[in-house]
Amino acid sequence: MRIRQQFSLLITNIRRSLPPVRNIIMSSESDHSPAFNTPRLVLKKVLAKSQREGDGAVVRRGIGRSELKNLDPFLMLDHFSVSPPGGFPDHPHRGFETVTYMLEGAITHQDFAGHKGTIGPGDVQWMTAGRGIVHSEMPGEATNKGLQLWINLSAKDKMIEPNYQELLSDNIPTAEKDGVEVRVIAGEAMGVHSPVYTRTPTMYLVFTMMPGSEWHQSIPESWNSFVYVFEGEGVFGSPSSSPTMPYHVLVLSLGDGLSVWNNSSKPLKFVLIGGQPINEPVVQYGPFVMNTQSEIEKTIEDYQYGKNGFEMRNNWRSQ
Residue 20 has what pLDDT? Answer: 35
Q: Answer whether residue 198 is part of any domain.
A: yes
CATH number of the domain residue 115 falls in? 2.60.120.10
Q: Answer whether residue 296 is part of any domain.
A: yes
In 3-state terms the chain splits into helix, strand, coil percentages (rounded to 5) of 10, 45, 40
Residue 278 has what pLDDT? Answer: 98
Residue 34 has what pLDDT? Answer: 63
CA distance 116 to 122: 18
Cα–Cα nearest to 177, from 213, 203, 206: 213
Domains: count for the chain: 1
CA distance 144 to 33: 37
pTM value surpassing 0.95: no
CA distance 81 to 140: 11
Domain assignment of residue 179, given as a range: 42-300
Q: Answer whether residue 18 is part of any domain.
A: no
pLDDT mean values, one per 10 residues, the chain (319 residues): 38 36 29 73 97 91 96 98 92 98 97 93 97 95 95 98 95 97 98 96 98 97 98 97 98 97 98 98 97 98 96 89
Q: Answer whether residue 83 is part of any domain.
A: yes
CA distance 3 to 44: 56
